[in-house]
Structures are given as structure tokens and as C-alpha cells.
Structure 1
Amino acid sequence: MTDGTPDPLPDGLMDAFWDYEAALMSDDLAALDRLFAPGPATLRTDAAGTLVGHDQISAFRGGRGGAPRRTVVDIQVQVVDDGNALVVATTELARGGRGAQTQLWQRQRDGWVVTAAHVSVSPPAIDTRVWRVVGDPLVTGAEDGPLARETIAVKDLFAVAGQKVGAGSPAYLAAAPVETRTARAVQKLLDAGADVTGIARTDEFAWSLFGDNAHYGTPPNPHAPRRLSGGSTSGSATATSLGHTSIALGTDTGGSIRVPASWQGLWGIRTSRNAVARDGLLALAPTFDTVGWATRDPDLLARVGDVLLPPAPPPATSDVVLATDLLALAAPDVRAAIEEFARGWGNVVREPFDAHDLDAWRTTFTLVQSAEAWKQHATWVASRLHTLTPAVRGRFEAAARLDPAEVNAAAHSLTRLRLEIRHRVADRIVLLPTTPTVAPLPGGADQSLRETMLGLTSIAGIGGLPAVTVPLRTAEGLPCGVCLVAAPGRDRDLLALARTIPRPA
């Protein structure tokens, strides 16, 4: 190890540094807490973002399961004065590659503590939380076309010739055959000139909204560091947020495009039921399954629609209605962002959408979705429940126990509710929260949040309606979304409207 420390150093500084290093390698949380300065001003930053305050830093360390193994190979120290010093250490990681940490140490009454730290490590060649398989590209598109030079992260539910469909499950992937044909939606994008960069992670069987997958890890959320990414089109959304691809191709059954788009600051669309062919797509609940995609800007969102959507009449003008009772379901910070958006739009009518029906709508949606998911996957799942993550296993187990009479009643209710929702939307554009909250921290996504989200997202699902989510920011700078919902077949109208929405400078 090289050592660029000046001589003499303030008493106790390097002892504290090596105590910190030992605590880090042994994951001694109490010692690490003691060696970071108490209070709200302490900082720790890395590529994922900045943690502010001792409490945030302590919570992060407590949840990460230890730091990567490493060896310190170089230390440089700049002494500011007898009570403050900057220590820069270069490390070699056990997994390969190098890292660096910069720490500002301060002498306090009980000894030396870190008041600010910056940590960097060499990134892995492939982030397996985001990607299952990736190429440069994995599949080359046509030489020319309306999407030439665009790149796609394909959700691991679509068939890609020469690859397997993994569905977010290692056991399913192991047993899956190699696909001989490419899903029609993917092929149309390839024919339009886009390249497939890779196949991206999904929540297991696409039956989740939060983006977490215990098998592979949770994809990061670049625009809300250390918060959940949203799912189930989690890997594709993260790849596009990170700039690895320009198009996140996914599905939306109960919000699987809209939720990650909202939580990651993307534009996204759930298409009208049957508007885009689902050939070569692993189903979850065919009554509600749709193809969707997300991008970083509305122009590309619309250009993808030009390739995938059927022809439609020229865009029609419509009244825009802010559903006040649905807005009330959002947290105050999200509600304020949507209110500001609506004021900026101008002539927006404010009226309720009759949200007192929301629990019944969500229950009907969940019953039909669960019954169809079991019908689709029972043959494979029944003997392999032990291979699934607890939440998804629980949903399949509950689906297996459903009373056929109850499912039949829900199916009849669905027909009535679909007509009712379409009648309420009519020829208008309805605004509602895409998600009721910003992306929660790990551990903060519970059943209550899932039910509230499904209450909002199932409106388009039951109605078979197109929905475009527009990225907004809360006053604290966290991503959220407002959803534009219209009558079936008005996908292109929504995409054209999205192009006219002013974007932040």
C-alpha cells in the first residue's frame, strides 16, 4: 500500500480511519454509526445519490447487507487544521476493479468522525438487476426506418428468436424452450429500424407493481435514488431511465408500464385492449393484458405508437376533466404537483368520477385477474410454488382457492363495469393520479398502497382504455405522474396531446 499521509498527522485520525475500515468489512453497524457525525448535516453520496443526515445514512447501511469486500491500497491526507482533515483512499475490490472513497473527518468531543463521504466503485459490466441478457445489440433492426438508431429494452415476457422467456423466475427460465420466432410487437419495432439492446428483468410473472424481485434484486431508480423502481416492467424502465436504451417495451395489466414510468419520471402508455398484437407474449390475465412502452420524451412515445398502433382518424379535440375524487386519493405532494399541472393546462373542468365505486372495481379486477392468471399458469405453477417469491406465491395460492361461482359473478360484473366506466369517460380526457405516491423506500410498499394503486390503475384496465402517464415532479423534486385516460381506440389522440404538453426547462 502506498501512503501519501503527511507527517505528523493529527492525533487519532488514522486510528479512526482504520477503525472505520474494520467496521465496514465486518458490517459492525454500531461502530459505523459511532464513526459518522450525528445530526442532520452529515452527508454520504455515491452514484445512486446523496443521503442527508445521520439517520438516512444509518438506515441505508442497515438495509444493504454489508459493503463489497475490498482492500485499501493507497491513502492520501490533506490536513485542513488540527480538527479537520480530508482522507482519500483507493481500494481494490475482491470482485475485481478499483474504488475510491473521500472522507471529511472532524475532531469532536468523543473523537474523530466523518462529516461527509463520497464513495465510488467500478460498475459491473452488466447490472443483472436490470438485464437478463444484453448485447451490442442483441438483435439488429432494419438498416433504415422511422425508428432507426433507437434502442429497446424488451421485458422478459416477449419472445425473441434464439432466446428464452424467463418471466422473472429462475425456475421458469430453466425449463423454458428457446424461442424460434420473435413476438410481433418486437418484430415490428425491429422492422422499423430499432435495435434490441437486451432482455430486461420483470417482476415475477409480471404480477407485482413495485419492481422488487427477490431472485435477481430490485432495479435501481435513477431519478429517485434508493427508492423502488416500480413494476412489473421494472428492468426496461430502469434501462431507459439510465439512458441504456431509448424505448422500454413492456406490458400493462394493472399498471405495469404506468407505475414505473410515474416513479422514474418517464412518459408511458398503456394501449387500448387489443390495439397492439400480443402474439409471442407470455400472458398473465388476457382480459386486461396490453402492450405498452415508456420513453424519456413524448415525441418518441408517439413515434413508437406510429409503428405499433393501428391507423386512426385525425386527433379529435376533447374536454379535459380532472377527477377530483380520484385526485383526493393521492398523497399531498403528488396532489399538489397534479393541481399545478392542471392549472398550467388552462381550461380543465373539475368534477368527481364517482370514486365511491372504486373498491368494487378493484375487487372485480383482482378476482378476474387472479382467475385468469391461475388458468394461464396452473399447469406449471402447481408443482413449483416453492420456487416463487412469497408475494407472488401467495397470489397464485389465493387464485387456486377461488370459488368458481364468485369468479363467474365477477366476470358478469366486469361487463357492466366496463360499460359504466366507458360511459363516464365518454369523449373526454380524464386526468387522475398515475400513482398515489412517489416511489416508496424499500419496505415502504405495503398491501394498502398496492390496493390504492390498483384502484386507480384498474379503471383503464376494466374499461379497456388507453392511458398515457405524463411525468411530473413534487416540490421536493421526486418523480410522480398524472394519467390521461380516454375512450378505447383513442391512443393516438392521447399521444398527440402528450406532444403538446409543455416540458420543464
Structure 2
Amino acid sequence: MTELKPVPHGLLQAFRAYESALMSDDVAALDALVADSPTTLHGDAAGLLIGHEQIAASHGTRGGAPKRRIVQTHVQVIDEDHALIVAVTELDRGGRGLQTQLWARDPVRIEYGGWQVTAAHVSVPAPAFDSRIWRVVGDPLVSSHTADGALSGETVAVKDLFAVAGFAVGAGSPSWLEQAPVASSHAAAVASLLDAGASVRGIARTEEFAYSLSGLNAHYGAPPNPKAPGRIPGGSSSGPATAVALGQASIGLGTDTGGSIRVPAAYQGLYGIRTSHGAVSREGLLPLAKAFDTVGWMTRSAFLLQAVGDVLLPESPAPVPVEEIHLVPSLVGLAAEDVATAVSEALPEAKPLEWDPARLDEWRQAFITGQAYQAWQAHGAWLETRLDTLGEAVRGRFEMARTVTRAQADEARAVLSQARAEILEVVGDRVLAYPSASTVAPTAADAVGVRDDTLRLTCIAGIAGLPAVSIPVRTPTNLPAGLCLVAAPGRDRDLLALAQRLAE
């Protein structure tokens, strides 16, 4: 019979200290109890974090773990300096979880007897649905009456801006939802997908009135980013993006005004398209800025992205063969080095296009001003006495929007008109390539700092009404990023076909 090894001195005391720190959200203690090594691991339903730096960053943003108690503890001793602890937990909200930790003792360390966690895996009961991702969900929520359509078997996460018959449009705002009427019919895009055989899985979260690029809804929380744990999902089509990335839906129906399809697609490793302005009907869609709003969608494959386009897009009257893709070095250079490298390496034979839009910062600011003016025209009457119902970031944008005068809007419109002419001339029959977003998904703490850099890239398609497809690429550190392909208005199908060829 194998003799059981005694539990090493101080191990259980360190284990209890970790549990106490977890329940009290003592970040400093948690950081001290996790091994300060680039090989330390922490895995849970949100994904795998590698290295002390990533794990410590998650400690600072999680806001504490669900309250629980330990009901069983099992220790498997490896040697006097290493042991595996498996604990069964019982959550206050109900259900049981499991926590597995590999502990190692550093004899030089004094704190906690030298014991630290070198690897951990946590599992908890899955919620019936994640309210950060979904406003309402079904199995399905709305069925298609077509059994043999082009999209039969596909499921759709509908951004909470589109009308779904029998439900109100919530727009990411509890106050708006409270007074919103129940829709009597589906939005045109929703109806078309249903007619093609897809079912509606549910209505997915958006940021308030779709006025953001981060996905950090102040009321419902940020949907997780399963492709980059601990980082933001990207917005404002964050709910549909996460639903697709998690496999809870196969199609994420969203909108793109200033990048709200391209950014979450890039951050979560998805294919996504912002369609030409006006190419897909916006009937039944709550607007943000009508001159820039477009319908878009995200999928996990280029094949399905194109299949949805076959349903929603008008026929191309005269397809233009794609002979060459033109990489724009000046725009690639606006991205962080890791993203620029991933985009460039994805298109090693792309022909460089020496276009350096000298007034790009002016264009970006004019886009912001024009979008703000239209956003206030769309929602100002209702928000005038309700700005305090908005989260801080979106409230700040609407407060700015309220101050934009008609003269300022006209001035911005003139700048945008000149910008549009230059962009259309440069694009011509070409397909341009550059990053979908300036960085990989940042942490919530860094999200504000990258917004302007990303808008420099995303505003180009918005200003000129261009179709833009985001194709997933990987950085040297294996984080998702996006390669953006743009072409002249109306060439949506050409871009989808090109994306499909690049994916083969």
C-alpha cells in the first residue's frame, strides 16, 4: 500500500488565505499568492490567462468573485514543495463549482510560508443565460417558417436596435426600454433572414444607443471576449459578436456607424462586414446617425459571411474582378506594431498604395462632429431631461452632441464632402487593405486611449459610404486582430467573394 504523504507545513494556511482574499476582493493578497512567473496559468469559462501580469490585471477588474463556501478539500502531495489542491465549492446563488490549484513553495519567500499558486482552473455552474450578452434569448426566440432556405439551420443574435415582432427595442438603455413600444413587425433585415430559413436565437446587448466602440455597457456590463480573455469585446455590436464567438449563435446581426461591426470582429477574431451605405434596408432600425448608419453582420467563417450577403444584399449589376489588393502603408502605420505586422504578413504579395491622407485628423474630427449632430437630432428630444440615465462615457458624448450648432454641423459636412471625394477617387476600382482597428482588444482601463486611433482608420469607410470587410488575423503573440478590405460603394459582394478566397 502506498503511504499517504503528509500535507506540507503552511499549505492549507496559504490556501485559506487565498480563499479569504478572493471573497474579500483583496487584490494585493491575490497578487502575492499567485506565482510571479510568465508561465503561471489561470483558466475559467472566460478563457485562459497566461502569466502573472495577465492574471493580476484580471484581479483588478473583476470586482470580486461570486460568494461561496468550501465544502470539500482534497490535497494530493507531490513532494514537500509541490501539491495539488482540488476544492468543491458551494455558491450562495446555488449550485456547486470546482477549483483546482497547483501550489509550489519557494523556500526563499517568507510571506504565506512561501506558497504560491502556479496553475489554477475554476468552474462554476453556467447561468441560464448571460445577461451581459443577451437581453432576451430563446431556443429559438423566433422560428423561421422556411425549412429549406439558404440559411436554414443558422441562428441569429440580433443587436438590440432592430425591431423583433413582439418585443421592444431596448437600445442598451433600461430607461429607453421602459417606455419603448412593442414592435408589431420585424425589421427588414430580420425578416429577410427569417425568410431565408435562419431563426432568431435572441436579442443581444449593445452599448447605449450604439454610441461607442468599447462594448462596456454601464448598465448590463461588458460581454466577455472569449478570444482575448480579460480584454474588452468591442462595440457597439458587442452582444452579437460575443454570442457568435462563443458559438451561441452563428450570425451576429448588427450595425456599423463608426466601426461597430469592424472593431468587435477584429477584437474577437470574427469575419464582419459593414455594407455600403443604403445597400441593406434600415427599415425597423433605431438610428444613431442616419448619414453613416449601415447594417452589418459577423460570422465565424467567410463562407457564412458571404451566404448572409447573398440574402441581404442587392445583386451587383457589374462585378469588378479583383486583380490586386493594395496595402496602404500610411494607414498600416497608424496601428500598433503587432497589429501592423499581422496585417502586413497576411498579405505578403499586396501592392503598396502610396496614399497619405494629410487631413485625416481633420476628417476624423468632422466625422465625430457630424455624427454627434445627427445623434442629438435623433435622440435629443427624449434625452434632454434624461441624460443622467446614461452611463458616464455615453452621457459625455451626448452632452457634447447637444452643444454642436447647425453652423458647426454644416462646416463638418463641407469637410466630409471634400474627404468623400478624395477617398472615392483613391479607391476607384481598387481594393484597399489596412487594419480594422488600431490595436488588439485593450483592457477596460486602456479602452479610452485607443478610441481616437481606431476612429482614424474606421472613419474612412464611414465618410465615403464604402463597404468594408474585416478578416481575422493573429498577432505574433496570438491575439486576434482585423485586416480590413474596402472597395467602392456597391462592391459588397466582390469583397465577400474575396474574403472567401483569402480564407481558402
Same fold (TM over 0.5): yes
**Counterpart residue type for residue 477 of structure 2:** E
User: How far apart in 2 are the matches of 1:336 and 1:31?
Assistant: 38
1:32 is matched with 30
Q: TM-score if structure 1 supplies the norm length?
A: 0.95
Aligned-residue offset at 1:6: 5.6
Aligned-residue offset at 1:280: 0.3
User: How far apart in 2 are the matches of 1:88 and 1:213?
Assistant: 35
Is 2:131 aligned against 1:128?
yes
User: How far apart in 2 are the matches of 1:59 and 1:486?
Assistant: 39
User: How far apart in 2 are the matches of 1:472 and 1:7?
Assistant: 49
Question: Alpha-carbon deviations, 1:248-276, whole Å to 9, x = none?
Answer: 00001011101100111111111111100
User: How far apart in 2 are the matches of 1:248 and 1:298?
Assistant: 13
Structure 2 residue aligned with 1:405, among 397, 404, 407?
407
Is 2:158 aligned against 1:157?
no
Is 2:235 aligned against 1:234?
no
Give the 3 Å change call, closer, same or farther, for CA 33–337 of structure 1 in structure 2.
closer
2:118 is matched with 115
Q: Please state whether the residue corresponding to 1:397 is helix, strand or coil.
A: helix
Aligned-residue offset at 1:314: 5.4
2:460 is matched with 459
Give the 3 Å change call, closer, same or farther, for CA 455–107 of structure 1 in structure 2.
closer
**Counterpart residue type for residue 346 of structure 2:** F
Q: Please state whether the residue corresponding to 2:358 is helix, strand or coil.
A: helix
Question: Alpha-carbon deviations, 1:454-491, whole Å to 9, x = none?
Answer: 11111111111111111111111111111111111111
Q: Please state whether the residue corresponding to 1:484 is helix, strand or coil.
A: strand
Q: Please state whether the residue corresponding to 2:153 is helix, strand or coil.
A: coil
**Counterpart residue type for residue 90 of structure 2:** E
Question: Alpha-carbon deviations, 1:133-154, whole Å to 9, x = none?
Answer: 0000000012221110000000
List 4+ stretches of structure 1 deviating above 4 A. none
Question: Alpha-carbon deviations, 1:215-239, whole Å to 9, x = none?
Answer: 1111111111111111110000110
Tell me which moved more, 16-25 or 84-93: 16-25
User: How far apart in 1 are the matches of 2:241 and 2:27?
Assistant: 33
Give the 3 Å change call, closer, same or farther, for CA 408–22 of structure 1 in structure 2.
same
Q: Please state whether the residue corresponding to 1:445 is helix, strand or coil.
A: helix
2:485 is matched with 484
Give the 3 Å change call, closer, same or farther, for CA 39–170 of structure 1 in structure 2.
same
Structure 2 residue aligned with 1:183, among 183, 187, 191?
187
User: How far apart in 2 are the matches of 1:360 and 1:235?
Assistant: 31
CA contact (8 A) 1:200 1:235 kept: yes
Structure 2 residue aligned with 1:260, among 259, 264, 267?
264
How many residue pairs get aligned? The number is 495
CA contact (8 A) 2:103 2:116 kept: yes
User: How far apart in 1 are the matches of 2:501 and 2:37?
Assistant: 46
**Residues 17-416 of structure 1 correspond to what in structure 2 (within 5 A)?**
17-109=15-107, 110=110, 111=113, 112-141=115-144, 142-313=146-317, 315-318=319-322, 319-343=324-348, 346=349, 348-416=350-418
Tell me which moved more, 291-300 or 74-83: 74-83
1:16 is matched with 14
CA contact (8 A) 1:204 1:213 kept: yes
User: How far apart in 1 are the matches of 2:414 and 2:80?
Assistant: 77
Tell me which moved more, 12-21 or 258-267: 12-21
CA contact (8 A) 1:73 1:89 kept: yes
Aligned-residue offset at 1:499: 1.1
User: How far apart in 1 are the matches of 2:105 and 2:485?
Assistant: 55
Q: Please state whether the residue corresponding to 1:277 is helix, strand or coil.
A: coil
Give the 3 Å change call, closer, same or farther, for CA 69–176 of structure 1 in structure 2.
same
Q: Cα RMSD over matched residues?
A: 1.6
Q: Please state whether the residue corresponding to 2:192 is helix, strand or coil.
A: helix
Tell me which moved more, 55-64 or 424-433: 55-64
Aligned-residue offset at 1:7: 7.3
User: How far apart in 2 are the matches of 1:135 and 1:435?
Assistant: 33
Aligned-residue offset at 1:17: 1.9
Q: Structure 1: where are the runs of 5+ without partners?
A: none
User: How far apart in 1 are the matches of 2:213 and 2:424?
Assistant: 24
**Counterpart residue type for residue 241 of structure 2:** A
